[in-house]
Structure formats: C-alpha cells, structure tokens
C-alpha cells in the first residue's frame, strides 16, 4: 500500500470516528431515528467524504442492515439498544465502524462486544489466521455469558468494495485465511442474549447493484442512472428521489440487477450489541483507522 492510499484510509477513518461519536450523542430517548440518520449522513457529505453505505441504525434484536425509511416515525425509547454502523469513503477507500448505544441496562452486553473487538485487534499482525481472531472474539464474548453471532463476520475492504475477502469470523474456526501486510480489514463482533444466529426479516431498506444488464422499463432505467455513481456500493430506498420508485426497485430486484439487504435479526425479545473498527495490517501489528 502506498502512502497516498494509506493516508486516504486514515483520513476516512478519522472522519468516520468523529461523526460516529457525534451520532452516538444524538441517540437519546425521544429522539427521532430518521432525524438522527439524516443528520449523521449529512455530516459525512459536509466533510467532503462519501457514504460507503447508508447509516445502519438497528434496534434491539436487529443486528444490522436497518436504516431509516422515508417518513420513518420511529423514536428511540428508554430500554432500547441502538447500533449505529457508519461507512465513510474517500475515493473509494472505506472506513467501516460501529458503536452500540445503550438506553437500557445492557452495559455488560455492550462491553462484551467491545472486549471481543479489543481481543481480536490485539492479535492482528501479518501471518495471523482469521480463525484465531474468531476464537479470541468467541472467548471474550462467551466468557461474559453471551453468544457471539456466528453467521455475521468481519471482512476485508478493497477500493469501492465493502465486503471483500477475507472474512473474519466471530467464532473460532481452524484454518481459513491468513492476514498479510497491507490488507485492510473490518472486525465486527456481535454479542447476543438470543441464539447467536441472525435471520432475514421481511423489512429491507438497503439495496445494492450487483449486475449490469439492459432494462426496458423507463422507471428502472432512471433508478439505474441515479445509483450509477454508487459504483456498486449500497444505497437506501430513502435516497432514491424519483416517481415510480417502488416499481423500479421491484423490477430491478426481480431481474437480478439490484439485491436487497434485509434487516438481520436474532430471536424476538433478544438484544444484540456490535462493535467495529477498520484497520490496516502493518509489519508489526495493525493501525486502527477508525479510533
């Protein structure tokens, strides 16, 4: 990795860290979810950076992939456990970082996800196996009496690609990828009071373009035009300001041009906490870009 690319990752990380902290401060009982999401996303654009994906704002048993819908009337309430997951990019170099805000009595659960992240970061260096990081995450979370979420993982980052190889599991696995100097990875342990397995909800507000092919429906063509600048990075339904949006989205999903990212949740009544940092693997360890 050359110095210019390294500095882009560092600067994206600094911006993400600052804005995620500001966003966390807005999450209070009585605050609007939609206003919070739009304010945070607006701060990224004001910083002359791009959003690598819509701000994820997932509540309680929802682990990931929720965000505000247009006209979303949800209000944060006492007792909620709120995950904010922010992706900032500079010229495609991504900082991916998440924090959990506890509006109830889940501070030990939140601490467990953070301990998993700290334990994994402490092990990162060239030559470490992704499975060793997963084992450290699993031990930290299970040692505190919770379940790591087994079917969500950290991931590599490449230019404009938010989910690249290698995947960094949240449980121990023998073998698997070995990290190398210059790789950029996001590590994101989830700790749950539920089953430790997430499944897809019906709700989907986040989309991504996964194929390019000619489409005939004018509304679908317009939607494709609007998201072209995303270069495959996810976008939200709320961002798509056009008539006939719903028919366009449905058509493009049916034709395999767009995919949805449904909300991922653990069992009803459970609580899931997440912590995430992006880091660059360097000769003697790693540099966390988002701290």
Laid out side by side, the sheet with 199-200 consists of: 62-64, 264-265, 199-200
Note whether 265 and 201 are within 8 A (CB): yes
CB of 157 to Mn ion, least distance (A): 8
Q: Pick between residue 137 and residue 220 the one whose CB is nearest to Mn ion.
A: 137
Q: Among 17-25, 164-172, 239-247, 269-277, which window interacts with Mn ion (CB under 5 A)?
A: 269-277
Binding span for Mn ion by CB under 5 A among 126-134, 141-149, 181-189, 205-213: 181-189
Number of residues binding to Mn ion, judged by CB under 5 A: 6
Dist. CA 289–CA 291, nearest whole Å: 6
What contacts 246, CB < 8 A, 6 or more positions away? none
Which tokens hold the place of 188? 């994101």
Contact 86, 15 (CB under 8 A): no
Please give the positions annotated as active site.
85, 96, 155, 163, 188, 276
Among 186, 187, 248, 281, binds Mn ion (CB under 5 A): 186
Query: How far apart, in whole angstroms, are the C-alpha atoms of residue 157 and residue 91?
Result: 13
Instruction: Give the total residue count for the chain.
Output: 291
Fill in the per-residue mask, 131 to 170: x = in contact with Mn ion (CB under 5 A), - = not in contact. ----------------------------------------
The nearer residue to Mn ion, 141 or 219, going by C-beta atoms, is 141
The C-alpha atoms of residue 74 and residue 81 are separated, in whole angstroms, by 14
Least gap, CB of 96 to Mn ion (angstroms): 4
Nearer to Mn ion, 12 or 98 (CB): 98
Near Mn ion by CB under 5 A, which window of 39-47, 73-81, 184-192, 260-268?
Answer: 184-192
Task: Name the minimum Å distance from CB 41 to Mn ion.
Answer: 14
Binders in 98-117 for Mn ion, by CB under 5 A? 98
Q: How far is the CB of 188 from Mn ion (least distance, A)?
A: 5
Whether residue 188 contacts residue 272, with contact meaning beta carbons closer than 8 Å, is answered with no
Binding to Mn ion, residues 67-96 (CB under 5 A): 85, 96
Does position 66 interact with Mn ion (CB under 5 A)? The reply is no
Sheet arrangement for strand 190-192: 147-148, 190-192, 272-274
- Rounded to 5 degrees, φ, ψ at 257 are -85, -40
Q: Measured from the CB of residue 115, what is the shortest distance to Mn ion in angstroms?
A: 18
Q: What does the H/E/C string look like for 19-69?
A: HHHHHHHHCCCCCEHHHHHHHHHHHHHHCCCEEEEEEEEEECCEEECCCCC
Collect contacts of 161-169 with beta carbons under 8 A, ≥24 apart: 161/232, 162/52, 162/53, 162/87, 162/94, 162/96, 162/233, 162/234, 166/130, 167/130, 168/120, 168/130, 168/133, 168/134, 169/130, 169/131, 169/133, 169/134, 169/137
Site for Mn ion in 23-62 (CB under 5 A): none
Q: Which is nearer to Mn ion, 187 or 257 (CB)?
A: 187
Interface region with Mn ion, contact rule CB under 5 A, candidates 76-84, 130-138, 165-173, 273-281: 273-281
- Among residues 61 and 188, whose Cβ is nearest to Mn ion? 188
Q: Which is nearer to Mn ion, 41 or 188 (CB)?
A: 188
How far apart are CB 98 and Mn ion at their closest, in Å? 5
Binding site for Mn ion (CB under 5 A): 85, 96, 98, 186, 188, 276
């Amino acid at each position: 990795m050359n110095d210019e690319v390294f500095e882009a990752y560092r600067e994206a990380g600094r911006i993400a860290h600052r804005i995620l902290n500001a966003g966390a401060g807005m999450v209070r009982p009585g605050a609007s979810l939609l206003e919070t999401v739009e304010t945070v996303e607006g701060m990224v654009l004001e910083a002359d950076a791009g959003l690598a994906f819509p701000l994820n704002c997932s509540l309680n048993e929802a682990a990931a992939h929720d965000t505000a819908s247009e006209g979303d009337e949800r209000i944060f309430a006492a007792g909620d456990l709120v995950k904010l997951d922010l992706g900032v990019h500079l010229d495609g170099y991504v900082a991916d970082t998440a924090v959990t805000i506890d509006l109830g009595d889940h501070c030990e659960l939140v601490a467990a996800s953070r301990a998993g992240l700290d334990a994994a970061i402490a092990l990162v260096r060239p030559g470490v196996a992704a499975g060793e990081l997963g084992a450290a995450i699993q031990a930290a979370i299970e040692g505190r009496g919770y379940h790591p979420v087994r079917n969500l993982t950290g991931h590599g980052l490449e230019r404009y690609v938010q989910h690249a190889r290698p995947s960094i599991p949240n449980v121990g696995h023998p073998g698997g990828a070995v990290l190398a100097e210059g790789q950029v990875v996001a590590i994101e342990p989830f700790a749950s009071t539920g089953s430790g397995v997430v499944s897809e909800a019906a709700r989907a507000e986040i989309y991504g373009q996964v194929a390019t092919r000619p489409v005939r429906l004018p509304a679908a063509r317009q939607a494709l035009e609007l998201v072209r600048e995303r270069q495959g990075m996810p976008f939200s339904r709320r961002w798509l300001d056009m008539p006939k949006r719903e028919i366009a989205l449905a058509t493009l999903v049916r034709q395999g041009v767009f995919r949805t990212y449904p909300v991922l949740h653990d069992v009803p009544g459970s609580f899931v906490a997440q912590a995430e940092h992006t880091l660059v693997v360097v000769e003697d360890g790693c540099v966390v870009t988002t701290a």
